[in-house]
């Protein structure tokens, strides 16, 4: 029987929200939780809760940064397949069947995410497709499932200079997927809903200098040194209405500091 690991990343007291919504035990499915905290003591109720769940591996990580926690979770995983999870998500009851079924024929898949307020968190296609380096730019972490062995074999990890908790707080997901594509594997979009998540603000990563800088760094990772600047300029022109003047000034300051 194929096995699936659900890799959860959580932060300080958000662990209490997670244990209230954690998926129930299911054969073939395990849960790995990496808890980012600077507190070596406390969380007694959390420890007691997990003692009752043989399917859960709970690890504290004494540093911040969601990509660091996801990379640690990958090393702790042992199953055939992995799904990246957050602490504010509610998963569908047939999650295992959907993810394992989709990954029979793909190294990595992305899925739809419903909004807890109705509809979806963004516009998703109704048709399956093979992702490109452009289409992965809009993928969120909780949409992604992978074959674990492929990641380990090719040392594929999230970029730790990007993502929540890092100086540049977004765009780690497309970089991660681009590394899978770089190794010759395909990333497939599957139009099936696997979970519900609170609504996400459109253009959220473009309202600050560090948000725009995150995009620039991601473009360099994904498209390479010869193509990332013209593609980034086109991206900015397309989204000019979402980028404020203060954000542009902040970006220029960051670029001067980095001497780019």
- Alpha-carbon distance of 171 to 178, in angstroms, equals 11
Q: What is the pLDDT of residue 202?
A: 46
Residue range(s) defining the domain that contains residue 11? 4-197
- Alpha-carbon distance of 215 to 174, in angstroms, equals 10
Same-domain status, 190 and 66: yes
Q: What is the pLDDT of residue 48?
A: 87
Task: Encode the chain (260 residues) as per-residue pLDDT tens digits.
Answer: 899 999 999 999 999 999 988 999 999 999 999 999 998 788 888 888 888 899 999 999 999 999 999 999 999 999 999 999 999 999 999 999 999 999 998 999 999 999 989 999 999 999 999 999 999 999 999 999 999 999 999 999 999 999 999 999 999 999 999 999 999 999 999 999 999 998 875 445 677 888 889 999 999 999 998 899 999 889 888 888 888 777 777 777 777 777 65
Same-domain status, 117 and 145: yes
Same-domain status, 184 and 223: no
Same-domain status, 39 and 160: yes
- Alpha-carbon distance of 222 to 176, in angstroms, equals 9
Where is the domain boundary, 197, 221, 241? 197
The CATH code of the domain that includes 185 is 3.90.550.10
Same-domain status, 231 and 146: no
Same-domain status, 42 and 101: yes
pTM above 0.75, yes or no: yes
Same-domain status, 9 and 78: yes
- Alpha-carbon distance of 25 to 29, in angstroms, equals 7
Same-domain status, 54 and 151: yes
Q: What is the pLDDT of residue 252?
A: 74
- Alpha-carbon distance of 43 to 12, in angstroms, equals 9
Same-domain status, 233 and 180: no
Same-domain status, 152 and 235: no
**Based on the structure, what is the number of domains in the chain?**
2
The two tokens of residue 73 are: 């979770």
Q: What is the pLDDT of residue 210?
A: 87
- Alpha-carbon distance of 203 to 244, in angstroms, equals 11
CA atoms within 13 A on the CB side of 108: 29
Contact 10, 32 (CB under 8 A): no
Q: What is the pLDDT of residue 10?
A: 95
Same-domain status, 134 and 247: no
Q: What is the pLDDT of residue 201?
A: 54
The answer for residues whose C-beta is within 8 angstroms of residue 212's C-beta and 6 or more apart is 205, 206, 236, 243, 247, 248, 250, 251
The two tokens of residue 174 are: 């497309």
Where is the domain boundary, 197, 222, 246? 197
- Alpha-carbon distance of 83 to 98, in angstroms, equals 11
Same-domain status, 120 and 213: no
Phi, psi of 111 (to 5 degrees): -130, 175
Residue of 52, 51, 69 lying closest to 60 (CA atoms): 69
Q: What is the pLDDT of residue 77?
A: 98
């Amino acid at each position: 029987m194929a096995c699936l690991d659900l890799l959860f990343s959580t932060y300080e007291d958000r662990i209490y929200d997670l244990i209230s919504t954690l998926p129930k035990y299911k054969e073939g499915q395990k849960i790995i939780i990496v808890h980012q905290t600077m507190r070596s003591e406390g969380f007694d109720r959390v420890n007691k809760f997990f003692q009752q769940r043989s399917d859960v591996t709970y690890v504290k990580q004494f540093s911040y940064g969601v990509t660091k926690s996801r990379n640690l979770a990958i090393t702790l995983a042992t199953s055939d397949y992995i799904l990246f999870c957050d602490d504010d998500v509610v998963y569908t009851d047939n999650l295992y069947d959907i993810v394992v079924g989709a990954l029979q024929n793909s190294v990595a898949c992305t899925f739809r995410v419903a909004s807890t307020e109705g509809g979806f968190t963004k516009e998703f296609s109704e048709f399956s497709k093979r992702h490109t380096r452009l289409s992965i730019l809009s993928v969120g972490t909780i949409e992604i499932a992978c074959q674990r062995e492929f990641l380990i074999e090719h040392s594929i990890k999230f970029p730790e200079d990007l993502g929540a908790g890092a100086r540049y707080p977004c765009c780690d997901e497309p970089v991660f997927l681009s590394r899978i594509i770089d190794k010759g594997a395909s990333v497939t979009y599957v139009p099936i809903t696997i979970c519900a998540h609170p609504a996400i603000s459109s253009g959220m990563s473009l309202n600050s200098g560090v948000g725009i800088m995150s995009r620039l760094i991601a473009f360099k990772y994904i498209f390479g040194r010869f193509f990332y600047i013209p593609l980034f300029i086109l991206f900015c022109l397309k989204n000019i209405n979402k980028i404020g003047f203060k954000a542009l000034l902040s970006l220029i300051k960051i670029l001067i500091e980095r001497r780019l």
